[in-house]
Amino acid sequence: MKKKSWISLVATGLISMVLAGSVFASFVFWEPLTYFNPETWNKSNGYSNGGMFNCTWRSNNVSFTNDGKLRLGLTSSAYNVFDCGEYQSKYTYGYGLYEVSMKPAKNVGIVSSFFTYTGPAYGTQWDEIDIEFLGKDTTKVQFNYFTNGVGGHEKVVDLGFDASAGFHTYAFDWQPGYIKWYVDGVLKHTATTNIPSTPGKIMMNIWNGTGVDSWLGSYNGANPLYAEYDWVKYTSN
C-alpha cells in the first residue's frame, strides 16, 4: 500500500505550538520515499554536472525497493561510461530542520549525499548545505556548506559505526546565525560564519568522481553501487 507524502496543511501535518500565549505554525514536509511522487519530486535525467562528476544522471537510476526505500544507483552502460542517480524536490525550502534516514554506498571514489542546493540555474546565488559520505571510508561523514559560491567549510566527523551497514538518521538545523549537524539526534558540528540564506531544493544523489583523487580516492569502476533512503523530513521554524 502506498503511503502519502505529507506536506503540512491542515490535514497533512500543520503543527501549532503555543508559546507565551502566542500561536506559531510550523510547516512540515515528510516523505516516506516508498514510491515516486511526481507532485513533489523530480528524477534528474539526461545530463551531467561535468567537472568532478564522472557520470550522467539517469531517471532509471532512481528506483524503489520492495520494502519501501528509495534506491539511487551508480551503474555502467559501457566500458568507462557511468550513469548515476539523483532525486530532487520540486520546491525550495528555507530555514528549519532537515532530516534523512539513509544508508550510503561503500566504494572508493564515490559520494552518497543529502543536501540543499540552489544556484544560477534557478536564478539565485549558489547556496548549499551538505551531508556527504565518501565511499572510501563510510565510518566518517563530511559536513560542508556554500554561501554565494564560497565553500571550504568541510568538517569530517567519526561516526563510531559503518554508515553503509545500516540506516541512521542524519540532520542539520539551518538558522540565520548557524547550522548545526546531527547524527542520530546527537549534535556533531556547528558552523556560525557566513551562513547561507537562499531557500534551496532538497536533494539526494550518488556519483563517482574524477580529478579529485586526493578527496575521494580513485574510482575503480566497481558497479552497480546503491545508496538507499528510508524517509526525508523538513520542519520549518
Active site residues: 128, 132
What CA–CA distance (Å, rounded) separates 31 from 19?
Answer: 28
What CA–CA distance (Å, rounded) separates 37 from 39?
Answer: 5
What CA–CA distance (Å, rounded) separates 113 from 134?
Answer: 9
Nearest to 209 by CA among 70, 52, 7: 52
Nearest to 104 by CA among 66, 78, 130: 130
What CA–CA distance (Å, rounded) separates 116 from 197?
Answer: 11
Q: Where are the beta strands (DSSP E) in 70-126?
A: 70-78, 81-93, 96-103, 110-118
N-terminal to C-terminal alpha carbon distance within the chain: 32
Q: Please, is 64 exposed, middle or buried when counting C-beta atoms within 10 Å of its C-beta (0-12, 13-18, 19+)?
A: middle
Distances (CA, A) of 214 to 7, 134, 136, 194: 41, 12, 11, 26
Cell of 221: 569502476
